[in-house]
């Protein structure tokens, strides 16, 4: 089925993927130096993060005021857990860019009072002015953040049960370590409020789910399909990921 969406789809050769994504982050920070950028972890954004660190070292992007909101993490892990997504983000990007914890809105990972903490995360994000740019990866099951299939369009930051597929994918990040069966994620409704959304998709194994996300029904069966209703969503896909799209 042909693409029936106003989404801004940019298909790039694999060797242009990280530069294209980094250009969009750079544009955001040029327009607003203290922009809040929502950031994911996972394999997909790593080339982008390497490129941002390179540009920081060269001095071509000013990250000195950038603020960050963490998209998701595991639930039930201590703040300094070796499998924390926040810790991963620190090592991969925040520390090399010199972004200290005062400029980071961390998603809560522990009870008690996790519902209240999730509501506080939402309130703090609003007080920061909301996300100027929300960067996302695409899960093999169509999730964005940990918004698993079944997530409602108006969902907010909350604890979710992780699907077996997402747990297996997450476990692989830590060489098969046991990972929690619950996560905490920014909601679909929260994500859709970002002024701009950047969905990153790379590799042939994401081709079918990208096709379903962009050309299938808009439904909670494929949470990423809701991004087609966002006012300002950009998809950067490399050629293997875009191989099943008719263009």
Q: From the candidates 143, 147, 193, 238, give the one annotated as an active-site residue.
A: 143
Residue 141 known to be catalytic: yes
Q: From the candidates 51, 72, 73, 132, give the one annotated as an active-site residue.
A: 72
How far is residue 3's CA from residue 5's CA, in Å, rounded to a whole number?
A: 6
Does residue 44 interact with ligand PGA by CB under 6 A? yes
* Structural contact between residues 96 and 53, judged by C-beta atoms closer than 8 angstroms: yes
Where do we find the tokens 């994500």?
A: 191
- Using a 10 angstrom Cβ sphere, with 0-12 exposed, 13-18 middle and 19 or more buried, the burial of residue 4 is exposed
Does residue 137 interact with ligand PGA by CB under 6 A? yes
Please give the residues from 164 up to 183 whose contact with ligand PGA meets the rule CB under 6 A. 169
Q: How far is the CB of 210 from ligand PGA (least distance, A)?
A: 12
Q: How far is the CB of 14 from ligand PGA (least distance, A)?
A: 14
How far is residue 107's CA from residue 73's CA, in Å, rounded to a whole number?
A: 7
Determine which helix (DSSP H) or strand (DSSP E) holds 236, and give its type and residue range: strand 233-238
- Share in percent of the chain as helix, strand, coil (round to 5): 40, 20, 45
Does residue 43 interact with ligand PGA by CB under 6 A? yes
Among 108, 139, 142, 183, binds ligand PGA (CB under 6 A): 139
Size of the site for ligand PGA (CB under 6 A): 8
How far is residue 111's CA from residue 33's CA, in Å, rounded to a whole number?
A: 34
- Give the binding range for ligand PGA (CB under 6 A) out of 41-49, 58-66, 88-96, 230-238: 41-49
Among 38, 42, 142, 223, binds ligand PGA (CB under 6 A): 42
Q: How far is the CB of 48 from ligand PGA (least distance, A)?
A: 11
Residue 143 known to be catalytic: yes
Residue 232 known to be catalytic: no
Determine which helix (DSSP H) or strand (DSSP E) holds 212, and give its type and residue range: helix 207-215
Q: How far is the CB of 112 from ligand PGA (least distance, A)?
A: 28
How far is residue 116's CA from residue 129's CA, in Å, rounded to a whole number?
A: 20
Q: How far is the CB of 138 from ligand PGA (least distance, A)?
A: 6
Q: Which of 154, 199, 209 is nearest to 20 (CA)?
A: 199
- Give the binding range for ligand PGA (CB under 6 A) out of 12-20, 22-30, 79-87, 133-141: 133-141
Q: Give the pairing of strands 196-201 and 233-238.
A: parallel
Residue 127 known to be catalytic: no
Helix or strand or coil: residue 55?
A: helix
Interacting residues with ligand PGA (CB under 6 A): 40, 42-44, 137-139, 169
Catalytic residue numbers? Answer: 72, 141, 143, 148
């Amino acid at each position: 089925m042909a693409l029936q969406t106003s989404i801004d789809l940019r298909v790039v050769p694999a060797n242009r993927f990280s530069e294209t994504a980094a250009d969009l982050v750079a544009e955001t920070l040029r327009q607003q130096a203290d922009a809040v950028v929502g950031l994911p972890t996972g394999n997909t954004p790593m080339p982008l993060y390497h490129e941002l660190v390179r540009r920081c070292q060269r001095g071509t992007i000013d990250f000195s005021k950038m603020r960050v909101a963490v998209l998701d993490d595991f639930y039930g892990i201590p703040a300094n857990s070796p499998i924390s997504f926040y810790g991963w983000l620190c090592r991969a990007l925040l520390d090399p860019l010199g972004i200290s914890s005062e400029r980071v809105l961390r998603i809560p990972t522990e009870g008690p009072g996790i519902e209240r903490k999730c509501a506080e995360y939402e309130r703090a994000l609003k007080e920061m002015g909301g996300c100027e740019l929300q960067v996302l990866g695409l899960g093999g099951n169509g999730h964005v953040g940990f918004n698993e299939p079944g997530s409602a369009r108006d969902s907010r930051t909350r604890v979710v049960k992780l699907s077996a597929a997402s747990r297996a994918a997450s476990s692989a990040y830590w060489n098969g370590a046991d990972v929690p069966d619950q996560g905490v994620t920014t909601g679909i409704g929260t994500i859709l409020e970002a002024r701009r959304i950047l969905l990153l998709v790379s590799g042939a194994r994401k081709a079918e789910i990208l096709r379903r996300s962009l050309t299938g029904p808009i439904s909670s069966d494929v949470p990423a399909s809701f991004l087609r209703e966002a006012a300002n969503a950009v998809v950067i896909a490399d050629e293997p990921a875009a191989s099943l799209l008719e263009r």
